[in-house]
Structure 1
Amino acid sequence: MIKKNIFSLDNKVIVVTGGTGVLGSHFVNAIVQAGGTVIIFGLNEERGNTQAEAIRKNGGEALFLAVNVLEESQLEEAKEKIIRKYGKIDGLVNGAGGNVPEGVLSPEGDVFDLNIEGMKKAMELNLWGTILPNQVFGPSLAKTGNGAIVNISSVASKRALTRVLGYSMGKAAIDYYTKWFAVEMANRYHDSIRINAIAPGFFLSEQNRTLLTNPDGSYTDRADSILRQTPFKRFGKPEELCGALV
């Protein structure tokens, strides 16, 4: 029998952390378009509720929950709400992350005067903001017999980028964590749950906009340098990640 759509997410309940962000909102829409039910996590309640309502008006199924991914108690509470409403959780996209202003070395700053607390904050958001949701939702995903986790890494984990050391180290740690966790889960859960990572290149987002654009919207020298090394000579479009995600 020929299956018409091998990429269908029908009857799948999928959580997207950071779902109100530039990339996260496209992840949410991609899941809905593939037939999935999406649970949007974020801190911007107005944006999240508007997003979920728009999906429902268009015939999709979505729920927004205000959740800080660094607060385990909030994650546990959200998990219980989802299980009560939908009975299961099939997938998790760890889209929460990004840079923080305190973790960025200014152009005139001395390399020996790094803001250590700012770097710690960037690492915590990206690494622990990925590990904690996996710890909380992982057991529920495994129970489905075909659970899937997608972490969001970055090109910054592969290349030494100036000024954003804390962010880059956090993403590099996600790469190693994803590989380690994949092996451990395979040994302990066999093929009932999978974990992979997507490493996007350069996209304009809220976190990096001040690094890549001037107040008038023109590109900074940093952005121009990036584009000179990019074959397409442009930044990525968020929808270009959606096929890989689904």
Structure 2
Amino acid sequence: MGKLENKVVIITGGAGGIGSGMAKAMVKEGAIVTIVDLNEETGKVMEKELQQYSPESMFMQANLMDRDNLGNIVETVVKKYGKLDVLVNNAHASKQKPLMETTQEDIDLSFGTGFYPTFYLMQAAFPYLKESQGNIINFASGAGLKGDPTQGAYAAAKEAIRGISRVAANEWGQFGINVNMISPIAYSPGVEAWSKAQPEYYEAVKNKIPLGRFGDVEQDIGRVAVFLASEDSQYITGQTIMTDGGSIMLR
């Protein structure tokens, strides 16, 4: 029996990067995972990989900026599996620009792919998570905590996600719903491309991480997601879990 045996999970942005790492870690612990992603090609490939461990797991193609369809994601999963235990809001797209060059379009992209889907999927999932006394895992970022240059739109959306996560933790704790956040540093495909394009800068950033490396999307980030989705974390809520090798040490 795995830690997540027969738990039904939704992961947005699950076709690659951190999302796929969490999905793989969860199915190996017995979860039934629906990965939601815009990219059908990579989604189908990941679906086949997940089904090696969890035959019922599936890929669902969706544009998270289509707000009217967000509720259908939850309804489709609940109709198929009869319940929902865990919602993971991982997807987020943004553009890096200096603050004075950041446009309304840039802000709309960051909030439209990150904050709004997180907010509306939480609302849609609430009645089912109330039944299962389930878990929500949202994503924060060191860019928001530190205020990294050129990350204005991204940082704003990430801190907004932290805000609503704490509100939900306070409001929904009475129903047995836990709401936590992961703030990761991981060797994702984007970081890999960056390491090849700017190797000296990559090494400089890596060397500032106390543990001396970027996290593995499955073994490091995925295992923390498994913990937060499992019975082991049921007395933890409203917290930002810094899964970043010690880069930011909260006080």
Q: TM-score range by the shorter chain?
A: 0.7 to 0.9
Alignment partner, residue 6 of structure 2: 11
Equivalences for residues 39-118 of structure 1 within 5 A? 39-98=34-93, 100=94, 103-105=95-97, 112-118=100-106
**Identical-residue share of aligned pairs (%):** 27
Look up the match of 1:126: 114
| CA contact 2:13–2:36 (8 Å) conserved in 1 | yes
Summarize the Cα distance change of 1:205–1:155 in structure 2 as closer, same or farther, 3 Å threshold: farther
Deviation at 1:202, TM superposition (A): 5.0
Q: Aligned to 2:178, which of 181, 194, 211? A: 194
* Residue 222 of structure 2 is aligned to residue 242 of structure 1: yes
Query: Structure 2: any 5+ residue segments left out of the alignment?
Result: 227-251
Instruction: Confirm or deny: 8 A CA contact 1:149 1:196 kept in the other structure.
Output: yes
What are the Cα deviations for residues 169-211 of structure 1, in whole angstroms up to 9, with x where unaligned?
111111121111111112xxx14311111111354443x666x
2:180 partner amino acid: N
- Whether 1:155 and 2:135 are equivalent positions in the alignment is no
Question: Structure 1 residues 79 and 191, CA, compared in 2 at 3 Å: closer, same or farther?
Answer: closer
For residue 34 of structure 1, the aligned residue among 21, 25, 29 is 29
Question: Are the structure 2 counterparts of residues 155 and 203 from structure 1 closer, same or farther at C-alpha, using a change threshold of 3 Å?
Answer: farther
Q: Deviations over 1:195-240 (max 9, x none)?
A: 111111354443x666x3354xx4253x344224212333222120
Corresponding position of 1:230? 209
CA 1:82–1:156 in 2, change beyond 3 Å: closer, same or farther? Answer: same
- Secondary structure (helix, strand or coil) at the match of 1:195 reads strand
Any idea what SS the aligned residue of 1:213 has?
helix
Amino acid at match of 2:155: S
Rg larger in structure: 1
Aligned partner (choices 172, 175, 178) of residue 159 of structure 2: 172
Which amino acid letter does the alignment assign opposite residue 160 of structure 2? A
Worse-matched range after superposition: 31-40 or 194-203: 194-203
Which secondary structure state, in structure 2, belongs to the residue aligned with residue 112 of structure 1?
helix
TM-score of the aligned structures, taking structure 2 as reference length: 0.80
Shift of 1:104: 1.4
- Opposite residue 90 of structure 1, the aligned amino acid is D
CA separation of 1:209/1:126 partners in 2, compared to 1, >3 Å: closer, same or farther?
Answer: farther
Please, what TM-score do these two structures have when normalized by structure 1?
Answer: 0.82
How far residue 78 of structure 1 moved from its aligned partner, in angstroms, is: 2.6
Count of residues in Structure 1 that have an aligned counterpart in Structure 2: 225
Q: Per-residue deviation at 1:80?
A: 2.7
> Superposition RMSD on alpha carbons, in Å?
2.2
Offset of 1:120 from its aligned partner? 3.2
Q: Is the 8 A contact 1:36 1:61 kept in 2?
A: no
